[in-house]
């Protein structure tokens, strides 16, 4: 569903969404969306950011465009990891997953609402 929502705004060259629930270890995981458009447009990024800000969520979300791939993730992860580039990113995601299941469940619920919003909003003309 998330991939289809993002495809509405451009051709996807790459896409990733982690499993929300780890069946092996029995816990919810920090959700995020990662993607890259074949032909990225800054105005689309701003449009998506604005749409995300308009969704009532339990946790704060941010679209990180500091690298080639865009990542929509809870702001807490960016803040604690000091960005997606650093080695602490994976450690923070893992730590929050293990120690804050309530946060993970809230973020999963939020991401579902964000994706629904992205499926419903009109696609801006080029």
DSSP collapsed to 3 states, 53-117: HCCCCCCCEEEECCCCCEEEEEHHHHHHHCCCCCCHHHHHHHHHHHHCHHHHHHHHHHHHHHHHH
**Ranges of the chain whose pLDDT falls below 50:** none
pLDDT of residue 53: 95
pLDDT of residue 85: 85
**pLDDT (tens digit, 9 = 90+) per residue, 58-79?**
999 999 998 899 999 999 999 9
pLDDT of residue 87: 83
**pTM for the predicted model, two decimal places:** 0.93
């Amino acid at each position: 569903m998330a991939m289809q929502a993002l495809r509405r705004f451009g051709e996807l060259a790459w896409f990733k969404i982690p499993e929300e629930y780890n069946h092996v270890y029995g816990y919810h995981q920090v959700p995020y969306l990662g993607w890259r458009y074949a032909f990225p447009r800054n105005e689309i990024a701003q449009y998506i950011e604005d749409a995300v800000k308009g969704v009532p969520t339990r946790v704060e979300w941010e679209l990180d465009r500091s690298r080639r791939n865009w990542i929509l993730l809870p702001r807490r992860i960016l803040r604690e990891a000091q960005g997606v580039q650093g080695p602490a990113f994976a450690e923070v995601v893992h730590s929050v997953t293990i120690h804050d299941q309530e946060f993970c469940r809230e973020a999963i619920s939020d991401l579902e609402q964000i994706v629904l919003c992205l499926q419903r909003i009109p696609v801006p003309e080029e």
